[in-house]
Amino acid sequence: MAATESPISMIQVGQLAAVRISAADGAQATVALFGAHLLSWKTADGRERIFCSARSALDGSKAIRGGMPVIFPQFNQRGDGPRHGFARLSTWRLIGDGIGSDGAYAEFGLAPGDVPAALAQAWPHIFQLRLRFTLQGGQLDIEFNVRNSGTAPFPFGVALHTYYDVGQLDAARVDGLQRMRYTDPAPASAVQDAAALTFTEKLDRIYQAPAELTLHTADAALRLQQQGYNEWVVWNPGAEDAAALADLEDDEYLRFVCIEPARVDQQLLDAGAEWTGRHSIRC
């Protein structure tokens, strides 16, 4: 790829405008402007590493099921606004792209004027969000920057709710969580004794944040790293909950595992201050 050639192209996915990022070695990532939502990441060998449901709405009418939903300014119901916040339901702007020393990138921005009015009323703060995807070789880096542009502190939580295509659920395992404390929907906490986390039924846990995990899928090992976040959230709905989700085929839960870097509890960001979270996925 020539140094002056743009690494991005504008495409349509369903009814959504999207940006395709292409690396010199053939790796590609696709990000919808709706939600700055990663829909696809194919490594240079052409293998898809991200799961999206065949029944997901791709028309902007509701949150996308699969990919990498951007959770802001609250995780789940840990705040006063809509569940998982408004970032995944807002249309972001492409604010930059190019080829740097660390690979091909596209950067997206969101400001209060980009948020649908009904959602903005629940969180009336002045902010700037930047989300940058950088693609090189077998690696995808995501940098998430939050800036408080107002004159008073505001609280926020954040997560990148990534659905990984594991091929088959019974082949998936996660290394790096042994002796880590976690909570599940019950308020009590526990410590993982097993060397590897495997998936045999519904699982929904929030772990303390070791800097690095490894997700083993049916055909690859993905090294997951984070900086700036506090937790890892690990989730699979299991058969019963999957059947209750209208935008998920009943058996699709057997194809994915969600692992997300997160700050699940809202924390204050001072006026004029910034927060940056970094997440790296290496195949």
Query: Residue 89: which domain range?
Result: 8-282
Return all residues near 98 (Cβ < 8 A) that are at least 6 apart: 6, 7, 104, 105
Structure confidence by residue, pLDDT tens digits, 147-179: 999 999 999 999 999 999 999 999 999 999 999
Structure confidence by residue, pLDDT tens digits, 35-83: 999 999 999 999 999 999 999 999 999 999 999 999 999 998 777 778 8
Please report, rounded to a whole number, the percentage of residues in the chain having pLDDT higher than 70.
Answer: 99
What is the token pair recorded at 213? 């995990």
Residue 224 is assigned to a structural domain of this protein? yes
Residue 37 is assigned to a structural domain of this protein? yes
Interatomic CA distance for residues 21 and 10, integer angstroms: 9
* Number of domains comprising the chain: 1
Interatomic CA distance for residues 23 and 8, integer angstroms: 9
Residue 2 is assigned to a structural domain of this protein? no
Interatomic CA distance for residues 268 and 274, integer angstroms: 11
Residue 245 is assigned to a structural domain of this protein? yes
Residue 1 is assigned to a structural domain of this protein? no
Is the model's pLDDT at 201 over the cut of 60? yes
Is the model's pLDDT at 243 over the cut of 90? yes
Give, in order, the Cα–Cα distances in Å from 136 to each of 22, 41, 282, 283.
Answer: 9, 11, 10, 11
The pLDDT score that the predictor gives to residue 230 is: 94
Residue 125 is assigned to a structural domain of this protein? yes
The pLDDT score that the predictor gives to residue 138 is: 92
The pLDDT score that the predictor gives to residue 4 is: 54
Residue 193 is assigned to a structural domain of this protein? yes
CA angle 258, 86, 114 (to 5 degrees): 130
Is the model's pLDDT at 2 over the cut of 60? no
Return all residues near 227 (Cβ < 8 A) that are at least 6 apart: 211, 277, 278
Residue 198 is assigned to a structural domain of this protein? yes
The pLDDT score that the predictor gives to residue 1 is: 43
CA 247 to chain centre: 18
Task: Supply the CATH number for residue 40's domain.
Answer: 2.70.98.10
